[in-house]
């Protein structure tokens, strides 16, 4: 199959729509990361997404809709706080999880009794969603466990020859996936941290919980995706909280003959200059670090054998999401319980 990258025009949108209604998948830009989109009502298309990505079949998908889509077509229970969250943050990088009404393909939610819905703000994503006018499931457009894509080129690198079309909407400005927030209980509960932070949600609705899976209890995990090793570059990765320990390990790796790169915030760059390693600068602000993280992880795998990552000092706000991704990218494996 020939994989084409096309700018978003009326013609490429029409082509994308045709592919979607034939049961195919199309990569689309969003403000967070690129997604691999398919018709949420079409069992075949949804299964194809899992197959193309190599995604574990217990990791559910998010349905994407345009700003004026009538949500009552796919959900019915809608607590007042969910309405407030939609008014405050949508369109934008916040996914809300509602009780499922069974309207979309059963393969979307992988056996959970909920459905995750997102309204992206990216103008290209909106144009595409308006064109098709149906919910589109769109997990991140990377091979499962690989680094999420923030440019059309990243998608091409993972799926050349495997999908027909990548709609190119430029580099993603957000850079990490949406905050996923459960709206099935009395208060919203964050299942996956992201650019819409707990503090931002609390300001709008008062209380907001954070989900910590209780693996020992044997309960069904609310958001299985949070347990998988993910976002990982194809090189050895080592994560440090302490800059000096990172420096020592970088030197040891170099002595052992490895090409070494260090990924750190701008404030730590000077400590590594002149030590013979390539320094990948995450930047200064939390949002800048979110935007640059995946591009740098993908760069790392092309230039080094060992990536030494150093956790930025700030841990709150948007960094909660950035650290969540960085720790998974550098994890040695899945949380053992989830291994199939
Ligand atoms: P991705 O689209 O690759 O960013 O992954 C989607 C994320 O949303 C994963 O972490 C899933 O576990 C989570 N997710 C999707 N649907 C649901 C749902 N119905 N309930 C809880 N989490 C979900
Ligand atoms: Mg993903």
- Least Cα distance to 268 among 277, 252, 281 occurs for 281
Q: Is 75 in the pocket of ligand 1 (CB under 6 A)?
A: no
In whole angstroms, what is the distance from residue 1 CA to residue 8 CA? Answer: 21
Instruction: Note the ligand closest to the C-alpha atom of 158.
Output: 2
Q: Is 235 in the pocket of ligand 1 (CB under 6 A)?
A: no
**How does DSSP assign 248-284, residue by residue?**
HHHHHHHHTT--EEEEE-HHHHGGGTTTTSEEEE--S
User: Among the atoms of ligand 1, which is closest to the Cα of residue 140?
Assistant: 3
Please choose from 192, 213, 220 the residue to mutate so as to test ligand 1's pocket, defined by most ligand atoms within 8 A of CB. Answer: 192
Q: Is 117 in the pocket of ligand 1 (CB under 6 A)?
A: no
What is the distance of C-alpha 310 from the center of its chain? 21
User: What pLDDT does residue 340 have?
Assistant: 30
In whole angstroms, what is the distance from residue 3 CA to residue 11 CA? Answer: 16
User: What pLDDT does residue 198 have?
Assistant: 97
Q: What domains, with CATH codes, occur in the chain? A: 4-217 (3.90.870.10), 236-329 (3.40.50.11030)
In whole angstroms, what is the distance from residue 105 CA to residue 48 CA? Answer: 12
User: What pLDDT does residue 333 have?
Assistant: 60
Six-digit token pair at 201?
């949600």
User: What pLDDT does residue 230 have?
Assistant: 80
Residue that has been written with the tokens 């309960």 in this structure: 219
Residues 320, 303, 277, CA angle at the centre, nearest 5°? 80
Q: Is 139 in the pocket of ligand 1 (CB under 6 A)?
A: yes
What is the CB-side half-sphere exposure of residue 257 using CA atoms within 13 A?
0
Distance between start and end Cα atoms, the chain: 31
In whole angstroms, what is the distance from residue 240 CA to residue 289 CA? Answer: 17
What are the average pLDDT values for consecutive 10-residue runs of the chain, which has 340 residues? 97 98 98 98 98 95 98 96 98 98 97 97 98 98 96 98 98 98 98 97 97 77 71 93 96 96 98 94 98 98 97 97 95 50
Residue 181's SS3 state is strand
Question: How far, in Å, is the centroid of ligand 1 from the Cα of 60?
Answer: 5
In whole angstroms, what is the distance from residue 321 CA to residue 338 CA? Answer: 21
- Rg from Cα positions in the chain: 20
Is residue 156 a contact partner of residue 5, using CB atoms and an 8 Å limit?
yes
Tell the residue nearest (CA) to atom 22 of ligand 1: 223
Name the pairing type of β-strands 165-168 and 26-28.
parallel
Angle, helices 286-303/318-329, rounded to nearest 10 degrees: 20
Question: How far, in Å, is the centroid of ligand 2 from the Cα of 340?
Answer: 18
User: What pLDDT does residue 339 have?
Assistant: 34
Please choose from 52, 102, 225 the residue to mutate so as to test ligand 1's pocket, defined by most ligand atoms within 8 A of CB. Answer: 225
Q: Is 16 in the pocket of ligand 1 (CB under 6 A)?
A: no
User: Among the atoms of ligand 1, which is closest to the Cα of residue 112?
Assistant: 19
């Amino acid at each position: 199959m020939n994989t084409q990258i096309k700018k978003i025009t009326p013609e490429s949108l029409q082509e994308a729509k045709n592919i979607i209604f034939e049961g195919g998948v199309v990569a689309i830009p969003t403000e967070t990361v690129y997604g691999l989109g398919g018709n949420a009502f079409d069992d075949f298309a949804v299964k194809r997404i899992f197959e193309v990505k190599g995604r574990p079949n217990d990791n559910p998908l998010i349905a994407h809709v345009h700003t004026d889509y009538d949500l009552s077509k796919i959900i019915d229970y809608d607590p007042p706080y969910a309405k407030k969250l939609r008014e405050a943050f949508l369109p934008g990088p916040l996914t809300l999880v509602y009780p499922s009404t069974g309207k979309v393909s059963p393969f979307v939610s992988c056996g959970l009794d909920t459905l995750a819905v997102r309204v992206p703000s990216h103008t290209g994503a909106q144009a595409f969603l308006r064109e098709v006018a149906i919910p589109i499931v769109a997990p991140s457009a990377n091979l499962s466990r690989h680094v999420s894509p923030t440019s059309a080129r990243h998608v091409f690198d993972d799926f050349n020859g495997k999908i027909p079309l990548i709609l190119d909407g430029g580099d993603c400005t957000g850079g990490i996936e949406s905050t996923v927030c459960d709206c099935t209980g009395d208060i919203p509960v964050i299942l996956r941290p992201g650019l819409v932070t707990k503090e931002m949600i609390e300001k709008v609705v008062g209380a907001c919980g954070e989900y910590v899976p209780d693996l020992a209890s044997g309960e069904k995990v609310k958001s299985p995706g949070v347990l998988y090793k993910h976002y990982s570059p194809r090189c050895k990765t080592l994560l440090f909280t302490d800059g000096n320990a990172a420096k020592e390990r970088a030197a040891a790796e170099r002595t052992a003959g490895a090409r070494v790169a260090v990924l750190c915030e701008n404030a730590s760059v000077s400590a590594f200059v002149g030590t013979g390693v390539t320094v990948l600068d995450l930047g200064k602000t939390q949002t800048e670090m979110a935007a640059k993280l995946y591009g740098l992880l993908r760069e790392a795998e092309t230039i080094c054998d060992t990536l030494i990552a150093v956790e930025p000092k700030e841990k709150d706000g948007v960094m909660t999401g950035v650290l969540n991704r960085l720790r998974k990218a550098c994890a040695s494996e899945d949380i053992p319980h989830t291994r199939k």
